[in-house]
Amino acid sequence: MNYFCLISFKTLINFPAPNGNTSKFIRILCLFLLLLPCVSRAEEERKILLINSAGSIEKYKLARDEFKKTISYPVAEIDLDDKKWNASKLKDLVEDKHISLVYCIGSKAYLAAIKYGDEKNIIFSSGINWRRLPMKQNTFVVSDELNTGMQLTLFRYIFPELKRIGVLYSRQYTSQWFMETREAAAKMQIDIVGRPVTDSKQTLSALKGLLRESDVVWLIPDPVVLSEQKMLFSILKECQESKKAVFSFHRAFAAHGTTLIVSVDDQTVGRQAANIATRLLTGKTTPDKVQWPAGSDITLNQKRAKEYGLKSREGALSVVNRIIDY
């Protein structure tokens, strides 16, 4: 409450009722109406800074637009593709006292935010391999990975005869995920066959062993396994030559022969980030530090599935958003 509101409050409370006829109710009502704009101004001062790693990327754009559509607080926006945002300007805006919370879309944006905004709540989404990044006490993540149980259920629903799924993972980033996934898969009579990779140079040799024991390869966003883009292409080529299907996590892989893609619905991610921001700014119960995305998008390459001998369930295509036949 500002100084003007305090003065007005005291004046109204102590103002003598003319002829003793002024209703107490009228006084209280006037007080409420007087203070309401002050409260509103305080709420408006709670601004959000949105830092976008690259506004030209479609998935980032979808998350940004849905966030801004959902949130009720003022949003200042930075697109790191715009060269005007040098380190000094970025630092000044992140540290601005009127900025109460920072929402980062993509890893580049998040790294910029934690460099300058240590004391502010930071929400981070749309970051592939987010586990490799430093997580602070005030960091809240909307993961770019879907719930494991949900994905396994989809795999089994679409391909009911699926028995063995091969996974490359690293002990550093995804060993816990692998253990939990293998346990969940066992309850569905699916065997998860894993090969740990401690260095990206081991990826292809580990893959060759994995291909001999698996029906399909499930590619996960592990920063050691997928250390660079050319490694992704090498994995896909090796699987294609071995006539093994690849399940993956990003729609961009569809152009490279991936059989099944279960990816995040980016608009849902934007809405989740907005809901987390609202809870933090209104002082409600602190949300979970990491949230799974609530929506998914499914792409099936039907031609590849038939080529590799994967039989889909009759009627299963009803759950698929996109079907490819090339």
**Number of structural domains the chain divides into:** 3
pLDDT of residue 206: 95
pTM over 0.75: no
Asked if residue 253 is part of any domain, the answer here is no
The domain of 66 spans 47-144+267-291
pLDDT of residue 250: 84
Asked if residue 317 and residue 227 are part of one domain, the reply reads: yes
pLDDT band at 43 (very low <50, low <70, confident <90, very high): very low
pLDDT band at 310 (very low <50, low <70, confident <90, very high): very high
Asked if residue 312 and residue 202 are part of one domain, the reply reads: yes
Taken in order 133, 135, 136, 141, the sign of the CA dihedral is positive
pLDDT of residue 158: 96
Asked if residue 317 and residue 181 are part of one domain, the reply reads: yes
Asked if residue 235 and residue 115 are part of one domain, the reply reads: no
pLDDT of residue 302: 92
The CATH number assigned to the domain holding 65 equals 3.40.50.2300
Residue in 32, 30, 102 with CA at minimum distance from that of residue 67: 102
Asked if residue 183 and residue 130 are part of one domain, the reply reads: no
Write out pLDDT tens, residues 199-215. 888 999 999 999 999 99
Given a cut of 70, whether residue 6 has pLDDT beyond it is: no
d(CA 162, CA 312): 10
What rounded mean pLDDT belongs to the chain?
Answer: 85
Asked if residue 33 and residue 83 are part of one domain, the reply reads: no
Asked if residue 69 and residue 54 are part of one domain, the reply reads: yes
Write out pLDDT tens, residues 221-254. 888 998 888 999 999 999 999 999 999 998 888 8
